[in-house]
Amino acid sequence: MDWKIELIFVPVTDVDRAKDFYVRIGFHADHDHRPSPDLRFVQLTPPGSACSIAIGEGLGLSMAPGTQDSIQVVVPDADAALAQLRDAGVEVDGIDDQEWGRFVRFSDPDGNTWTLQQLPSWS
């Protein structure tokens, strides 16, 4: 039996601002639904990913906005990822070269942090 991670929740304070940010850096806006006045569900998917993120209102998340700091995304080229983020106006320090990969870290407008990893050629 396959077990697939397909959706990760990211807590945000302003859904529209967060949605605009993620679309600006290349995520696809899959869904934006408000089934009731107290519930809004927005699903966004990074390019080429089988796993999406969800943001919204009334989702019952126990995490406070800005505390999601454990999402790591594999990219084929850290330099290209860094350039794409900078072109989208995202503040990024640069590439952290390690023996086990090259890393780019950035934060969304709420402070949720992301790590992009280019795997080493020996992996």
**In the chain, domain spans:** 7-60+68-118
Tokens of residue 95, six digits:
């590439």
Distance CA 88, CA 82 (A): 10
Q: What is the pLDDT of residue 121?
A: 85
Q: What is the pLDDT of residue 71?
A: 96
Q: What is the pLDDT of residue 123?
A: 54
Best CA proximity match to 9, nearest among 68, 40, 54, 71: 54
Q: What is the pLDDT of residue 19?
A: 98
Distance CA 3, CA 43 (A): 20
For the chain, the 3-state helix, strand and coil shares in percent, each to the nearest 5, are 15, 35, 45
Global confidence as pTM:
0.93
Q: For the chain, which ranges sit under pLDDT 50? A: none
Q: What is the pLDDT of residue 105?
A: 98
CATH assignment, 7-60+68-118: 3.10.180.10
